[in-house]
Amino acid sequence: MVEELPAWELVERLNDLHRGESIQSRLISSGRRAVAALEDFMLRSPGNLRPRRLATEALSVIGGEEAFNALVKCLFAFTEIDDPITMLEEEAVKNIIAAELRHFGKVAAAPLLKALAEQSLVAAGESLAELGEKCAIPHLVDMLEDSFKRPRVAEAILTFGPDATEELLKTMGYKKIENDFEPLPSVERRAGAAKLLGLIGDRRCVPELLRLLDDEQESVRFESALSLLLLTLEKAPQKAVDIIKSSVKKLTFEKRSRAEEILCSTNTSKER
């Protein structure tokens, strides 16, 4: 027979590497009686990823207003951390919280948007995208400057489809200039936006993509040219094809493969 322990004692055992999952199950079985203990455990100290992940998941499964409020409180705790390792671990915990909050539905939109705007939590953007909250789009587009977060951010933006077109067009035309040069994050944001517009398939962006074929940044020209091929197929301007072919040898394997695939699929791989 399993020993019956109060939630306040059970949460201490979430740190057990071997029994953490079974303790989580027992806390979930306790339902609302475990919420206060789980919240207290979450708010003791930052980091501590695995045990706090288990506590977060337990609160999400238990559900209800008390569990929701506890998760929101934890989402905005520990905002100033000096140790960089603990800071990264805490960001991982908060991403887990943001991912679980989506299960509470539209009521989670406001705190998720706040977390996205203030903490740039990728999972907050992903949850808002799943909930169909368009207010997340401008913040996600700004986060295209982060090379580490960019793949997940791009996927979240694609979830919105043509609703993201306006913000992507806006960011393509915005260059951050420092000491008379455009820094790499700004270039990658603009190139990333051009790529996404082709994947979304909204032909409204064709005029702006045509203009960017003359951009001073090669990666922006390249992504604009690829997107034009996707949007105009055999009617793509020769200039776009030429830009792609001239850039292929300088690209990473992933970009080169993508370019060759698009050239073949749009029937533009042969010389015109």
Please tell me the number of Cα atoms within 13 Å of 203 on its side-chain side.
5
Backbone angles phi, psi at 178, to 5 degrees: -130, 120
Tokens coding 56: 């977060």
Q: CA 255, CA 105: separation in Å to the nearest integer? A: 37
Instruction: Tell me what pLDDT residue 1 has.
Output: 38
CA distances from 64 to 24, 67, 102, 128, 169 (A): 17, 6, 13, 20, 40
pLDDT in tens, the chain (272 residues): 345 778 888 999 999 888 989 999 999 999 999 999 999 999 999 999 999 999 999 999 999 999 999 999 999 999 889 999 999 999 999 999 999 999 999 999 999 999 999 999 999 999 999 999 999 999 999 999 999 999 999 999 999 999 999 999 999 989 999 988 999 999 999 999 999 999 999 888 999 999 999 999 999 999 999 999 989 876 778 888 888 888 777 777 777 777 777 777 766 655 54
Please tell me the number of Cα atoms within 13 Å of 231 on its side-chain side.
25
What is the crossing angle of helices 64-75 and 49-62, to 10°? 150
- Residue 272, classified by CB atoms within 10 Å of its CB into exposed (0-12), middle (13-18) or buried (19+), is exposed
The total of other beta-carbon atoms located within 10 Å of residue 50's CB is 13
Q: Which of 101, 87, 189 is nearest to 147 (CA)?
A: 189
Tokens coding 156: 């979240």
Instruction: Tell me what pLDDT residue 112 has.
Output: 98
Q: CA 206, CA 106: separation in Å to the nearest integer? A: 34
Instruction: Tell me what pLDDT residue 65 has.
Output: 96
Instruction: Tell me what pLDDT residue 141 has.
Output: 97
B/e letters for 204-242, b = 16+ CB within 10 Å, e = fewer, are: ebbebbbebbebebebbbbbbbbbbbbbbeeebeeebbe
The total of other beta-carbon atoms located within 10 Å of residue 28's CB is 17
Instruction: Tell me what pLDDT residue 234 has.
Output: 67
H helices within 47-145, ranges in order?
Answer: 49-62, 64-75, 84-101, 109-119, 122-130, 137-142
Q: CA 183, CA 140: separation in Å to the nearest integer? A: 19
Q: What is the pTM of this model?
A: 0.88
Backbone angles phi, psi at 202, to 5 degrees: -90, 110
Instruction: Tell me what pLDDT residue 272 has.
Output: 47
Instruction: Tell me what pLDDT residue 244 has.
Output: 84
Instruction: Tell me what pLDDT residue 269 has.
Output: 56
Rounded to the nearest angstrom, the gap between the alpha carbon of residue 60 and the centroid of all alpha carbons in its chain is 21
Tokens coding 199: 């994947």
Q: Which residue has the tokens 């401008």?
A: 138
Q: CA 190, CA 199: separation in Å to the nearest integer? A: 15
